[in-house]
A = this chain, B = another copy of it.
Amino acid sequence: MSLGKKVVDKMINEDAFSQWLGIKILEISEGFCKLQLQVRDEMTNGFSIAHGGISYSLADSCLAFASNSYGIQSFSLETSISHTKKVESGDILIATSKEINKTNRTALYYITITNQNKEEIAHFKGTVYRTEKKWFS
């Protein structure tokens, strides 16, 4: 098993909220992550569409897994998201990361979320800080 897979397995096993969200890992490699989530009724808000926190949480998990996949503990410094299309209960969301930049101490990722019709529903940008602490020594 690759280091990235090993790290993310450990992360998601201990991640109660990602489990509540029903997040599935579609793909993991160094600096890359692809996740899936199916929207349930309990994830919707007062407009009868998915709460903005759902797609943010999916993207934020994707950022965490992509940036930690090198085996170095990393955490989010700043994130932004634009919700570009309504998401409804039953929709299947896929978050795909792109590593824009990486230095010794920081990295920048762009994450796009699409639905089952391949329509883009959210655009996310995240900057992480890369510590010196390894996941496994």
| Partner-B contacts on A (CB < 8 A) | 10-18, 20-21, 41-48, 50-54, 56-58, 60-61, 64, 75-85, 100-101, 105-106, 108, 110, 120, 123, 125, 127, 129
Total copies of the chain: 4
Instruction: Look across to chain B and name the residue whose beta carbon is closest to the beta carbon of A42.
Output: B16
Q: Quote the shortest CB–CB distance from A6 to chain B (angstroms).
A: 13
Kindly state the separation between the CA atoms of A43 and B19 in the bound complex, as whole angstroms.
Answer: 10
Cβ-defined contact, B78 with A78, below 8 A: yes
Kindly state the separation between the CA atoms of A11 and B52 in the bound complex, as whole angstroms.
Answer: 14
Kindly state the separation between the CA atoms of A18 and B58 in the bound complex, as whole angstroms.
Answer: 17
A-B pairs with beta carbons under 8 Å apart, 26 shown: A15-B44, A16-B41, A16-B43, A17-B42, A17-B43, A17-B54, A18-B51, A45-B64, A47-B75, A52-B56, A52-B57, A52-B60, A53-B60, A53-B61, A57-B57, A77-B77, A77-B127, A78-B80, A78-B127, A82-B127, A84-B100, A101-B120, A101-B123, A105-B105, A105-B129, A106-B129
Known: A76-B52, A80-B80. A11 touches B45 (CB 8 A): yes
